[in-house]
Amino acid sequence: MSDLKLKNLSEWYWVGGLHDACIVGVETYEFPFNYNKFIGKKNKFDRNLLILKINSKGAIYDNTVKEIRLFNYEILTDNISLEGRDKVWWLADRLVDHGNYYTLEIDLQDLDSVPEDFTFKIKFERAEVDRE
């Protein structure tokens, strides 16, 4: 990874890790299609958004993250949704940069579901993170 890509990644990525942070809310949005911005096969602007609201006060490493926004996302895990859950604990994650998009695998724990431990995988084009 070039220094420029690493610098851009470190502006939003939680390099230290979010182990023991808690996802306390999930929101999704679909943006209206604007034909004036259409280029080729894809809209060059944002199509959808997944927002993860985070309570990171108890995180071991990075306890500054409040919200993660993933733009132009696609959930890659079948039959797993984060919506409608009260508390989901963040155990670990793996981020892969594919050039035009990223994939993020998050190992999570929900003590009120079966199975308690699961992996949530998502593909997205860009991210923004709000910190305290």
Give the pLDDT of residue 47. 87
Q: Where are the domains of the chain?
A: 3-33+42-131
Q: What is the DSSP string of 22-89?
A: EEEEEEEEEPPP-GGGEETTEESS--EEEEEEEE-TT-SS---EEEEEEES-EE-STT---TT-S-EE
Q: Which residues contact 9 (CB under 8 A, 6 or more apart)?
A: 1, 95, 97
The pLDDT tens digits for 52-106 are 999 999 999 999 999 999 999 999 998 888 888 889 999 999 999 998 999 999 9
Give the pLDDT of residue 11. 77
Give the pLDDT of residue 3. 42
Averaged pLDDT for residues 34-60: 77
Q: Whole-model pTM?
A: 0.84
